[in-house]
Structures are given as C-alpha cells and as structure tokens.
Structure 1
C-alpha cells in the first residue's frame, strides 16, 4: 500500500488496490469477464473517444467494495479507467463504464468517481492526498467543508453534474497533498475535471482566494462541459474594458475545456459587467485553438446596452492585440485591444484583429 511513496510518477499506476472486497475472487472474476465480453443485459458507457474493448493485458485493480447499493470494482489498464458495478442483491443490471486517463498525473490522477446517488458523488482519492474538502465555487470567500476520508473513499458531497434546475451553487472537490491544493469538479464522468486559472500555457492551481474569485462568476458555465470527456478547464481573465458610459470596466474571460481525446475542445468567451454576480457567454468555439497553449490569444465581442439606453458593440482582445476591425451589421475599426462603436439593437457584427506581431486573428463566434 505504500509503494506509491517510491514511485517515479504520481499517476494511477502508483495507486494501491483498496476496498473491503479486494479479496472477493468471485466478484473480480465477474468484473473481468464482463469487461472481456459484456452481455446484452450489461449497460456499457464510455466518455467520448474512449475504446470499450477488453484490456490489452492484465489490468491493475484500484478498488473493490460496496458503494451505496452496488458492488463496485475499478480497474486501470494504463490508458483507461474501467468501473464495473452490480447490484448487491444479484448480478442482473450490471454496468460497465470507461474513461480515458492516458497521461494523467498529479492533480489529474488524484481522484476517481466511485458512485453517484441522491444528488451526491463519492470519490476514491489518491494515496498521496492528505486532506479532502468540498467548496462552493461561487462563494470564493467561504470556508471549505472538510470531508471525511475512509481508506481513500470520501464522504458524499453534492454533485453539480446531477443538479437540475437553475444554477445557484457549484460544489467542487478540494484535495491537498505535499505539492499544494487543487480543485476538481464532477462533470458526469469517472475522472473529475481539473480546474486551473491563468494565462494559457502557464496556468496555476485554483488554490487561494484570488484564484477562486477569478472562477466564481463563471462557475455555472461548467454545465456546458458535462459528459463530453473534459480533462481540465482553465479560466483566463484576458481584459478589463472601460465601458463607454463611465460605469466602470467590464471583465472579459475565456474559459477553455481540454478533452482527454484532444479534439472537441471548447472555448467560451465570457463578459461580466461591474458588480455582476455571473458572466454572460457571448462567443463559443469548438475545436478552436483560441485561449489554448498553442494559440494563447482571443478576440470576442458583445452588444451592450448602457444605462442611458444606448447600444454599443464592445470588443476586446488580449494584450497582444494591436487593432480590431468590425464588419457586417457594425462597421468600425480601432487601435489597441479594445473597440467601442455605437450600434443598433440586434445588430450582428463580424470581428477581425491583428496582433502586434502582424498575425491575423478572427473573433470567436
């Protein structure tokens, strides 16, 4: 159980087998048999881009035990996490779930979902995790709620992946180890998504009040990333734009979700007026390079109505933006990273920009 202490990597291969049923050979045999040949009555699911075939070699057992009303077995085969679950009172209605986990290390390999019920989720945490807690991401100044961890299994905490209705809170998992503190969120899959904050290419952990405050207005936008194979989500505050009516500055943030499979990434440009509790998603790019490590730039715009009733096109790029041009329903141009132009209600504009190095950039749409 302590082999991880001398392991070269902090990944799933360093996890020991845990749970009270690791010695139940019948259960383990059934789990492996179903993985090799799931029958017609087995419910099989997988995150996008994840193979559902049998293991290429002997998989590593991570957990075997009872979770709520099911016996659960979790394996790792070097590329995927596989979770087998069967009812406590029989084997009819078994389920087999898969998720990619190739290359996961550190915070990305610090927790797995064991089960969900009654709006809650339970995690199995890495052996190097020292403390676990839950937080409401929308209340950055509030204290974390300590979670009891028994043999690596957390007490249940609210799952935002299961919550219906309006978004009024967003509960995240906070884990602390020798390297520091990190946040992850349940997006409906076996591996929670790692949350980071900062400029693409060099983001940091959401480990202090400033990091949590940066995420708070944008927490509800995570709902758009449920069940699409998300590995991590970064929030990058790229501009503060003075508003034309003198009411302060609006914040522009790009949240970018990276996936385990590489494609299907999602970038959201979000706009928040002064004092606004939540932001508005004003542009979205799928499989766009914007806001990512390969292209750490972004340009987006929004139609905004001032308190005096005037409509404006507001556009903002990151600090490397030299000029912005608008076409279509609004024709305007300006130097620097901001553009402000009078507009009519309902006008639709296209945006193009030029970076200081001469590179062209298109508006996220």
Structure 2
C-alpha cells in the first residue's frame, strides 16, 4: 500500500480502539505489552502507511536528527542566501535535536559527488543538495534510496533520479520572459546573446531553450548566437563574455542568465558597451543595482534563493517529522525587477546599494503564503 500523508498515532489508536500511549509503546517494542497487541499495532500502522516521527523519536532517545546541506561555495551572492534561508527555517528546531551538517564543495560539477557520498557516509537522516551534474550523482542517488535517506533537490533538478522533492525557480518562465522582453525591445534586425553557467545543469538548459523558443516566435529575423558558457566560474564568466563582446561590437542585447552576473556585467563595461546594449540579468547582486537605477541594465529576474532554502528545509523536516509527503516539485516564479519597482526590494534609506540579505517586503509576503500553503 502506498504511503499516506499525515497519518498519526491517534489514527492508529482510533482504528484499533487503543490509547495513543499504548500504540506508541507497541511501536517502540515496549516489554510491557503482549505480542498480540504489538502485532495488531504493527499491522495497522503498515495498513495506514504510518511513518514514525523521527524528530519526536530523537527527542525521546537523545538522538540527533541530522540533515546534510550540500551546496557550492561559488557563487556566494546566490548560495549564501540559500544557506541563510535553510538556517533561518531550521533555527526553531535546533534545540529539539536537529543538526545541520554542511558539505560544501567548490562549485557545481566540482566535488559535488564526493560531498554527496560524504553526507551518506556520515549517516545523515536527509539531504538537501544542489545537483549541478546529475550524471555524476547517479550512484549516490541510488545509494540514498537504498538507505531510505530522503533527498530534496534545490535550485535545479536531477530529472531521472529518485528524490523526495525539488525546489526550483520556474526556469521556463525566466527564459520566456527574458526572450519576450528582449525581442520586443530589440531594434530591427538586431542580434542577441546569452551568457550562462553550464548547459549540463538542468536549470540553465531550460532557461536557454525557453529563451530561444520565445525569441524565434516573436522575432524570427533575430540572430541568436550560441550561448556563452562559464561553467560556474567567475573568471570564465568575465573572460568569455569579454572575448565575445570584443568580437561582436554590434550586438543588440545580452541576457545574463547566470549567477555570475557581476563578472559578466564587468565584462560589458570593460568592452565599452554598457549603455549600448539591452541587458537583462539574473538575481539582485550588488553591482547590478546602480545600473538598473541608471537604466544601463533594463532589469533583472530575481530567483528568490533565500526562499528556496527555507522551503527546502521545511519540506524535508516535515517529511522526517510527520511523514507528510511533499509535492514532487515546488516551482517558484521569478520576480522581474526594473527601475520602477527596485525600491520594493532594496531599502535605499538604509543601504544605498544592494544588500543581498534584504529580500524586501514582497518576497516576505509570498514566501509566507507559500509556506502556509504547505501546512
């Protein structure tokens, strides 16, 4: 029988006409109960699809509920917010036998398989991870499944792997919005380029494909160059973008579809093209704010990394503590930030420039609504 959500000790007790304390003692194999009662309770719990409350059990036994957090070191402007979101959501539970264990690796595609194996070797009860190179994680996903360790993917997906849930931005929306806006703003017979991370990452591939489809649909005459991949490297983001721009001085627009937006934007400036291109960026990093105010960057798509972290922890903890199975995918819509709504996200009176930890009132409201909908 499949796992049912929200089954409690009270449900088992009602089914059998027993007290909750008796059911609890039976599930803990208490010596004071008959074998017949224990067998009835075990059979009923299996029939109802009951999952033991690991968090409550850890409080009784003194055992810590350990959750691994596997995230890249680069890009700090993104992953620091992800980690902060996880920590903030976990804070009320840290005194209740919950421990966050960090397995940080250099960047997507570098060291993430070793970090995943390290988490499983450490005997964690659940894993939150960013799967940059899913093919390299296949064996680890299989091992986690065999160990019954639930995995929540964060920011991007590992489509063919077994996991509890994925919390990600709607990459198709990001690409489509950027494609529609840029194709409308582009002069006749203009050209477009996309600087991105690594197209082996599901999130980046989905954004570019969606961007390409939308541009072709709206402006079939537009020249769209092959994507400029930086492989999640700050130095590559700068060097490859600069080299491309120096070779294509007549470019009409650039979609910075990467967390390494700061070096890509610096490349535009060093190429002498800032203010001469239609530019849309990704997320609200410090360097982009004054450019949006000046109008040299038309806007940015804020992917809400802090919210991703909070939601990922909430889903995993709820599953471990109550057995409630989350939706297989929680997809967050991006915020389009332009000069007209920039101050909703950046409190100018306290921080003249962008403050990455200041998410603004709009995100706070929508995050609260999202978490409440999962109660």
Give the alignment's TM-score, normalised by structure 2.
Answer: 0.26
Q: Comparing both structures, which one devotes a greater share of its residues to helix?
A: 2
